[in-house]
Amino acid sequence: MSELIIRRSHTKKYMFTILNQVSGNTFKVSGDEFILDGAIANGVNFPYGCQNGFCGQCKATLIDGEVDYTEDGIPPGITPEEVDDNMVLLCRCKAKSDVSIVVSELDDSANIEVKTMPCKVQKIERLSHDVAKVLLKIPGDESLQYLPGQYIDVIHPDFEPRAFSIANSPANSSLIEIHVRLINDGKFTNFVFNELQENSLLKIEGPKGDFYLRENSDDPIIMVAGGTGFGPVKAMVEHAIDIGITRQIHIYWGARNEDDLYSDLGYKWDKEHDNVNFVPVLSQEDGDSWQGRKGYVHESVLEDFDNLTEYEVYACGPPDMVKAVADTFASKGMFKDSFFADSFEFSSQ
C-alpha cells in the first residue's frame, strides 16, 4: 500500500480513478474537480449535505492515494484529528492520484435525509397556457440530495403543503425545477400563476417518494407520462444521459392536444441519443395537422410491444392513466417488481 498523503497544493488537470472499496464502484475525475462532484456526475450516490465543506456528511476513509484541499485549507466540516485518521471530505478534496476510499453509498430513497429548508423563487417561466416552470434556489451553503423522479412538498404559510415532482437531474442540487399545472379552482396553482413573484421566499421539504430511476438494472425502460408527469421523466432521462446509461429508453408522453406538449426535449433526446425513443400521443386532437399518434397513451405502448417481461416500466401522471398502465401492462407480462409509478392527485387547496 502506498503512503497516504493529504496535500494542499495546486492541482493539475489529470484524470484519476476513484474506487469505493465498499461497493466496488469506480469512476474517473479530473484533477481540478472535487471528488463528490465527480461521483454525482457519474451516478454514484455518495451521501452529502451542503456540498460546501460545512456539514461533514460526505466524509470517507482514505485507504490509498493522495488528495488535495483547496487553497482555503481543511474545511470546517472535518477536524484535524479526523484528517490525521485518514478521513477526507469528498465535497472539498480533489484527487492527486488514483484513490481508494471507503464510504457507504445510498442505494435507495430510505437512506436519503428528508430536509426542510428555505428557498428563493429564482425564475417563473410559462411553458404553455396552463403549465409554468418554477426554479427554486436553495440559498447559502445548503443543497438537497435526491434521486431523479422523487418529489418535494412546497410550503407557504397561506396554503396547505403541495407536492411537486422535481423536474431536473441531481447534477445541480441547489437548484430545484418544478412544473406547475394551473387548476381552475386550485388556490395554490392560481397563486403561482397570478401572484407569486421572482425572489419570493418559500420552504421546501423533501425529497420524498419511492418513484425514482433504478440505476443498477440493465433492463430496457418504458416511461409513460401524462401531462406534467413529464417532469419526473425529464429528471430521470437527464440523469441517465448525464451518467452515460445506454439502456434503451422508450418515452410515451400523453396529452390532450398539441398545445399541451409543453416541452420539445423529447424530440431533442430522440434525435441526439440512439438509445432514446420518444412518442407523443394526443387523446383529444381531431384536426388533420397532427400526424402523430392519437388515443390513450398506454394503448400506444401496447401497440408497440407484445411482451413486456424484460422491461422496467415507469408511469407518472393522472390516477386513471397510471391504473390503466398497471392493469393492461400486466396482461402483456410486466412483472410487478418492474413497475414503478407516481399518481398525481390535483387539489383545490
The domain limits of the chain are 5-102, 110-208, 221-343
Angstrom distance (rounded) from CA 295 to CA 289: 15
Stretch (H or E) spanning 137: strand 131-137
Whose CA is closest to 5, among 129, 134, 96? 96
C-beta separation of 312 from 338 below 8 A? yes
pLDDT score recorded for residue 108: 63
DSSP state at residue 310: T
The correct answer on CATH 3.10.20.30 for the domain covering 5-102 is: yes
Angstrom distance (rounded) from CA 132 to CA 117: 22
Q: What is the mean pLDDT of residues 207-224?
A: 92
pLDDT in tens, 241-290: 998 999 999 999 999 999 999 999 999 999 999 999 999 999 987 767 88
Pairing verdict, β 175-181 and 131-137: antiparallel
pLDDT in tens, 94-140: 999 999 999 887 766 567 888 899 999 999 999 999 999 999 999 87
Residue 2 — left, alpha, or beta (φ > 0 → left; ψ -120 to 50 → alpha)? beta
- Range with top average pLDDT, 63-72, 164-173, 303-312: 303-312
Q: Looking at the whole model, is its pTM more than 0.85?
A: no
- The cell numbers describing 247, all together, are 439502456
Burial environment of residue 138 by CB neighbours within 10 A (0 to 12, 13 to 18, 19 or more): buried
Q: Topology of 221-343 in CATH?
A: Rossmann fold (3.40.50)
Angstrom distance (rounded) from CA 51 to CA 36: 8
Round to the nearest angstrom and report the end-to-end CA distance of the chain: 61
Q: Topology of 110-208 in CATH?
A: Elongation Factor Tu (Ef-tu); domain 3 (2.40.30)
Between 131 and 170, where is the model more confident?
131
pLDDT score recorded for residue 13: 58
